Structure 1
Amino acid sequence: MIIDLTFPIENGMPYYPGDPQPKIEKFTSIEKEGYVVHKLTIGTHTGTHVDVPSHFIPEGKTLDQIEITRFSGKAYVIAIEKEKINKEDIPNVESEILLIYTGTSKSWKNGWNINKYSIITEEASKEISKRFKLVGIDSPSIGSFETHRILLKNEIIIVENLANLDKIIGKYVDFLCFPLLIKGADGSPVRAIAIVR
């Protein structure tokens, strides 16, 4: 079974303050030019997206410098529905990827409250850095700037704004995440899926 973990990119979607407002416009039409092309205005952290080291780390690796195998692998999905995810909340599991359902994604359609969503603490991020190659969450941000720096300095890939994690809580899955190959980028929207065997 395949579960889509991606929110659609669309006009009116939530976006992080300070990021470009996502906009999809018809650029050509069948009636006028004979074919349809749309123009997309988005940021590298629009919707379900990946953060790579250069997002916060000077001289950190850019998206095109990361091996494609770093974005996929065996994952465990855990539910931690509280404001702050602490070191003791990080499970001892046999996987290279940790996906965290916080419940924040339930408010996606109504626009999440940017002042109220679940985050990973700095101590928890240190623990994650020792045990996983990628961490994903259904919140719009994994945590503070320092939490980002701890993870990205250790080249831990971050995926934010994941959808449908509530459908696979407590399961081991094959997590596949496909960012756009953007030269020199600090992140990218992704198509993320989970394969449940």
Structure 2
Amino acid sequence: MKVIDLTHIINEKMPVYPGTDTPKLTPVNTYKKDGFKETFLQMYTHTGTHVDPPAHIYEGKKTLDEFSIDQFIGKALVIDCRMLKEGEPITMENLKVYGEKTDMADFLLFNLGWDKRWGSDEYFGDYPCIDDEVMDYILKGNYKGIGFDVMGLDPIADENLTRHKKLFENCDIINIENLTNLEQCGDELFWFGCFPLKIENCDGSPIRAVAWFN
């Protein structure tokens, strides 16, 4: 079985959403002093490769811990959008080349190639985002989730979070951000998992996103 890690590593120097703090990994027990190692971890729930539920945007909507565990596993398809220029929208033309495979997937994962900019100022640039037609297509489908190798579903400049609001307003779906290595997944359906921490009333969580092929 072939397995691909689609997750960025968490460290104190990683990129984070503007206005939030980087993670803190503070040693509290050491081999020399205590005979074991333990670290105090402090970070935002939307750090690194992570997943958003509807409760990220709307009070009273579904939290991550309220989803069934099978929400986070299924068949995925990578939509290659690396040909798009900065600020250019992701349109239905980018999906149509995959034919009926888009309807067979539980997750649509959009590869912008932006993960190659991880760790640089370019990562915070004007990355392509899905347009209204693609959003409507997703909302009419039976998808468990969508995902991207960029900082957000919305452009960083959109403080209104327009796409987040439309995605979560009437749909119990998850949104995954800051994926990596999507180019290794090919253009066929594959197994995908994106399991969050099981935190009470959870508005978001880092995940270990993984693709595997039998």
Q: Same fold (TM over 0.5)?
A: yes
Q: Equivalent residue of 2:31, what SS? A: coil
From 87, 98, 122, the counterpart of 2:108: 98
Distance in 2 separating the partners of 1:56 and 1:88: 29
1:31-46 to structure 2, matched below 5 A, reads: 31-46=32-47
Partner of 1:8, secondary structure, is: coil
What letter matches 2:198 in structure 1? Answer: L
The answer (yes or no) to whether the contact 2:123–2:150 under 8 Å persists in 1 is: no
**Aligned twin of 1:181:** 198
Q: Secondary structure at 1:98's aligned position in 2?
A: strand
Give how far 1:89 is off: 3.0
Superposed displacement of residue 88, structure 1? 4.0
Using structure 1 for the length normalisation, give the TM-score.
0.93
For 1:120, the aligned partner's letter is I
Confirm or deny that 1:171 pairs with 2:188.
Answer: yes
SS of the equivalent of 1:159 reads strand
What's the RMSD between the two structures over aligned residues?
Answer: 1.6
Shift of 1:117: 1.8
Residue 126 (structure 1) aligned with residue 136 (structure 2): yes
Residue 190 of structure 1 aligns to a residue whose secondary structure is strand
Q: Note the alpha carbon deviations across 1:50-74, whole angstroms, 9 max, x for none.
A: 0000001221111111111111101
Distance 1:28 1:112, change over 3 A: farther
- Long gaps (5+) in structure 2: none
> Is the Cα–Cα contact under 8 Å of residues 2 and 194 in structure 1 kept in the other structure?
yes
Give aligned pairs, total. Answer: 197
Task: Indicate the larger mover: 156-165 or 126-135.
Answer: 126-135
Higher helix proportion (structure 1 or 2): 2
The ranges of structure 1 where at least 4 consecutive aligned residues each deviate by more than 4 angstroms after the TM superposition are: none
Deviates more, 1:63-72 or 1:25-34: 25-34
Describe the shift of the 1:169–1:112 C-alpha distance in structure 2 as closer, same or farther (beyond 3 A): farther
Q: Secondary structure at the match of 1:31?
A: helix
Q: Secondary structure at the match of 2:60?
A: coil
Say which of 84, 87, 92 aligns to 2:89.
84
Q: Give the C-alpha shift of residue 21 in structure 1.
A: 1.7
Task: Tell me the secondary structure at the aligned position of residue 116 of structure 2.
Answer: helix
Q: Which runs of 5+ in 1 are unaligned?
A: none
User: Are 2:151 and 1:140 equivalent residues in the alignment?
Assistant: yes
Instruction: Give yes or no for the alignment of 1:150 onto 2:166.
Output: yes
Asked if 2 retains the 8 angstrom alpha-carbon contact of 1:101 and 1:169, the reply is no
Inter-partner Cα distance in structure 1 for 2:123 and 2:107: 27
